[in-house]
């Protein structure tokens, strides 16, 4: 019953919680609502009135959302808090993974530039002092450090976009492929996305370590270590992504099935 699923989604969608927890809520609430509907249908014999009565007995969706939200651990609530910018940072329907990754990267560049300009402005307008200790950084070094942070953030966003969305999308394509050739192409694209994403994430992590190494009086990584971390990420990233690919694909399909429901449909007064 689509109307029942929509009612469940009205309750669960606004909740800030992990997808597995939300899936669990969806399934459990739907099981209860279905039983309510069956009971009402046996009593009235009319689908429309049975649906309306089951929804009424189940309770107000907004109040139930609030109560369910309070039952989610605070750390999870915080981690999955829906920021106002969350929408643009999500992959749009029909958007290719590469485009999504580039868009994510643009967000990163924009945020990095904004921070960098602000820091530059502060550095220019406020009269600075020369560092009085050998381990203190100069304004110029601080700006270089900030540029590194922005670059690392961009690489992370881009890499994550390729790895998560790219691989997930291609796994879907592989499942939907009708010919052996299409399936093989999808596999090659999965490998490509996984390698590129892992390399970017690995080099971002290693770059972060190099930056810490350059600006702080502690040594974490050498230049050769940078390449080892990157190569290690490339070697370990794709197999781990592919190992979890099936679960990820199933979870994504379940999640998208629910997320695609139009909540304004079947609205009961």
Partner 1 sequence: MAPISGEQLRGHLEGLILAALQRGMAHGWEIWRSLEAASGGALAIKEGSLYPALYRLERQGLVAARWETATADRPGPRRRIYRLTAKGRRRLEAAREEWRQFVSVLGGLLGAPA
Closest contact distance (angstroms) between CB of 58 and partner 1 is 5
User: HEC string of 154-216?
Assistant: HHHHHHHHHHHHHHHHHHHHHHHCCCHHHHHHHHHHHHHHHHHHHHHHHHHHHHHHHHHHHHC
Task: Show contacts with partner 1 in window 141-170 (CB under 8 A).
Answer: none
Question: Is residue 32 involved in binding partner 1 (CB under 8 A)?
Answer: yes
Question: Is residue 253 involved in binding partner 1 (CB under 8 A)?
Answer: no
Binding mask 73-112 for partner 1 (x = CB under 8 A): x---------------------------------------
Binding mask 57-76 for partner 1 (x = CB under 8 A): xxxx--xx--xx-xxxx---
Give the span between the Cα atoms of 50 and 269, in whole angstroms.
Answer: 14
Contacts 24+ apart (CB under 8 A), 253-260: 253/172, 254/23, 255/19, 255/23, 258/5, 258/9, 258/12, 258/13, 258/23, 258/26, 259/13
- The span of 23-31, 41-49, 219-227, 261-269 binding partner 1 (CB under 8 A) equals 23-31
Burial classification of residue 202, based on how many CB atoms lie within 10 Å of its CB (0-12 exposed, 13-18 middle, 19 or more buried)? buried
Question: Is residue 113 involved in binding partner 1 (CB under 8 A)?
Answer: no
Alpha helices in 45-96 (DSSP H): 47-58, 61-70, 74-79
Output 27 or 182, the one with its CB closest to partner 1: 27
Question: Is residue 263 involved in binding partner 1 (CB under 8 A)?
Answer: no
- Rg over CA atoms, the chain: 25
Output 29 or 163, the one with its CB closest to partner 1: 29
Closest contact distance (angstroms) between CB of 102 and partner 1 is 39
Half-sphere exposure of 97 (CA within 13 A, CB side): 22
Closest contact distance (angstroms) between CB of 17 and partner 1 is 10
Closest contact distance (angstroms) between CB of 146 and partner 1 is 41
Closest contact distance (angstroms) between CB of 48 and partner 1 is 20
- The span of 56-64, 83-91, 154-162, 254-262 binding partner 1 (CB under 8 A) equals 56-64
Question: Is residue 47 involved in binding partner 1 (CB under 8 A)?
Answer: no
**Helix, strand, coil abundance in the chain, percent, nearest 5:** 75, 0, 25
Residues that bind partner 1 (CB under 8 A): 11, 24-25, 27-32, 34-36, 57-60, 63-64, 67-68, 70-73
């Amino acid at each position: 019953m689509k109307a029942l699923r929509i009612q469940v989604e009205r309750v669960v969608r606004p909740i800030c919680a992990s997808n597995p927890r939300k899936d669990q809520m969806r399934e459990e609430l739907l099981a209860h609502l279905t039983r309510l509907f069956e009971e009402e249908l046996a009593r009235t014999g009319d689908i429309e009135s049975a649906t309306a009565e089951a929804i009424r007995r189940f309770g107000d969706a907004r109040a139930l959302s609030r109560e369910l939200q309070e039952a989610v651990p605070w750390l999870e609530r915080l981690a999955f808090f829906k920021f106002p910018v969350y929408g643009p940072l999500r992959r749009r329907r029909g958007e290719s993974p590469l485009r999504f990754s580039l868009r994510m990267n643009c967000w990163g560049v924009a945020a990095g530039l904004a921070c960098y300009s602000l820091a530059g402005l502060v550095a220019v307008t406020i009269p600075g002092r020369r560092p009085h200790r050998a381990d203190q950084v100069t304004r110029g070094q601080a700006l270089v450090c900030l540029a590194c942070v922005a670059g690392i953030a961009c690489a992370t966003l881009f890499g994550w976009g390729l790895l998560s969305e790219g691989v997930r999308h291609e796994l879907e394509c592989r499942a939907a492929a009708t010919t052996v050739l299409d399936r093989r192409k999808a596999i090659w694209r999965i490998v490509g996305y996984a390698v590129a994403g892992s390399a970017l994430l690995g080099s971002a992590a290693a770059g972060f370590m190099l930056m810490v190494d350059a600006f702080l009086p502690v040594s974490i990584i050498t230049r050769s270590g940078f390449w080892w971390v990157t190569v290690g990420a490339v070697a370990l990233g794709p197999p781990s992504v592919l190992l979890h690919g099936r679960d990820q694909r199933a979870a994504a399909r379940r999640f998208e099935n629910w997320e695609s429901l139009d909540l304004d449909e079947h609205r009961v007064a």
